[in-house]
Chains A and B, each alone.
Chain A
Amino acid sequence: MKILIPVDNPVFEGNVSVSFARAPYFLVYNTDSKDKLFITNTAADSQGGAGIKAGQLVIDAGVNILLTPRIGENAAQVINAAGIKIYKTLNESIEKSLNAYLKNELSELNDVHPGFHGHH
């Protein structure tokens, strides 16, 4: 199973990013092989439609689960359409967030925000 987390820096010891679509990097963690792959979020510097493009990136990375503290409505629509489950992180630490998910301590993210649409 692959889990994706938006992160500030491409290091496992770093932080979960406060936003999803505008996060500079995504961590893809493979629970079977324990592989940690960092990919650059090319949607981050989009003028508009970052959520849709970031959502497309997540789908194309072939992940099953997204862990994020928040997500915009367009990104959520794309990711939900692909059947990927979104869980809300409660901690800044990447490692703690992953462990919390694996121990079934996170709940599904339902409070989708209307997006920043260039006004953040």
Chain B
Amino acid sequence: MKIAVLSGKGGTGKTLVAVNLAAVSLSSVYVDCDVEEPNGHLFFKPQNVIEETVTVKIPYVLPNLCDGSRKCVEFCRFHALAYVNNKLIVFEDICHSCGGCALVCPHHAIKERDKAIGVISKGQSRNVEVLSGFLNPGEVSGMPIIKGLLENTKQINKTIIVDCPPGSACAVMESIKDADYCLLVAEPTIFGTHNLAMVHELVNVFQKPFAVILNKCGTGENPAKTYCLEHNILIISEIPYDNGIADISSNGRILVRENSKYQKLFETLLANMLERSKT
């Protein structure tokens, strides 16, 4: 069972929800796919951490074999190559590591080397196996790290909670692609509701079963709730706007490990989703 926790807007509470869902499960895996700014590990403080480097392939040219046919320059749909003054220039940040340039070169003048772009770390925090991806600062795309993280979960037969990056672009699509259930975290702001609508559209495109959890609920209007009611979206749980949650979270502690009221809330939420994903 793989549950993806996502939201269009950052700061709605994805990590709060994902960390606590993983923590109330008897035995689970927490996967932090927000590789640009992973923060789940700050709460779990995993032990016995193993790290593996994530690399991508970057082309380089053997100048004595290159005769300037420019087949590679013409082939590259991302325009990562230019041929200037009888010399090939490679733009590493533009390259998508498809390897096509090396294949089309008639003289085999292009080779590929590994370039490290980040790290995947694995550790244990009590009942939770913690997988986190860290993209090196300045790198353009975290997609290879997200793919690597999810590859690591393929053989695992536990509840897997995927903490997605914010937004609704490629990195989120990759994160929810194999999910059995999607949980959309929403906050009571107009901006947040607009972004909720975007992820709502996304999970529909992917035809995933999903529900919304409303976070930071107070008195007064909740445009996210109105949106759900108007669109017949299941509101599976509501978390109140509570200074106590902020206090525990800002100290890097895990809510359900020290507050029985919220332990109950997240246990019910998890059981509810497990039940729904069966039908």
Contact = CB atoms under 8 A, between A and B. Distances in A.
A5 interface: no
B26 interface: no
Interface residues of B, number: 15
Given A56-B73, A77-B89, A81-B89, A48 B82 contact: no
Given A49-B91, A74-B91, A74-B94, A81 B79 contact: no
B144 to A, nearest CB: 17
Contacts of A74: 91, 94
Q: Which of A47, A49, A53 has the most CB of B within 10 A?
A: A49
B168 to A, nearest CB: 16
A77 B90 CA distance: 11
Interface string B72-113: 010011111111110101010010000000000000000000
A45 B89 CA distance: 22
> Which of A52, A53, A74, A78 has the largest number of chain B CB atoms within 10 A?
A52
Interface in B56-84: 73, 76-84
Interface in B141-190: none
Contacts of A43: 79
Interface string A36-49: 00000001001111
A47 B79 CA distance: 9
Residues of A in contact with B, size category: 10 to 19
B83 A48 contact: no
A24 interface: no
A6 interface: no
Nearest to A55: B82
Given A49-B91, A52-B94, A56-B73, A82 B84 contact: yes
Nearest to A82: B84
A59 interface: yes
Interface in A1-57: 43, 46-50, 52-53, 55-56
Nearest to B73: A56
A56 B83 contact: yes
Interface string A68-79: 000000100110
5 contacts: A49-B80, A52-B82, A59-B82, A78-B84, A83-B85
Q: What 4 pairs between A and B have smallest CB-CB spacing? A: A49-B79, A53-B79, A52-B79, A81-B84
